[in-house]
Amino acid sequence: MKELSLYLMSLLYITAGVNHFVMPKVYLRIMPPYVPFHKTMVFLSGIAEVLLGVGLLFTLTREWAAWGIILLLIVIFPANVEQLKNKKARGKLPLWVVILRLPLQLVLIWWAWLYT
């Protein structure tokens, strides 16, 4: 079961990372205004997610990748808050989904922590 969980987590981050390049407008919309170079940050976070997702797959890099995911989730948390605060950033998402996303970050951190 732990192996299946690991593969699911890896797939989640690789898919999310690729999505930064496929649908960058979604991520650009939720960038807090005080963060510089929005487009660059969206692409860098996408690259990070892909690399960390792949890193989970190898025993040698798994622990580093898990810690990297934890750090990434903390760093991107302000974008989730921005999405909650800014109706335009929310897009068509219902408010309850955006609210639920905030504590979900804690669950994702815990999930990554299992592999540290």
pLDDT, tens only, 96-116: 999 999 999 999 999 999 999
**Residue 100 lies in domain:** 2-113
Residue 1: predicted pLDDT: 81
Q: Could you say which residues of the chain have pLDDT below 70?
A: none
Domains identified in the chain, total number? 1
Residue 34: predicted pLDDT: 94
Apex 44 CA angle, 5 and 6, nearest 5: 5
Total H helices, total E strands in the chain: 6, 0
Q: What does pLDDT average to over the chain?
A: 95
Q: Contact at 8 Å (CB) between 107 and 68? A: no
Please state the pTM of the whole predicted model. 0.92
Residue 2: predicted pLDDT: 85
Residue 29: predicted pLDDT: 94
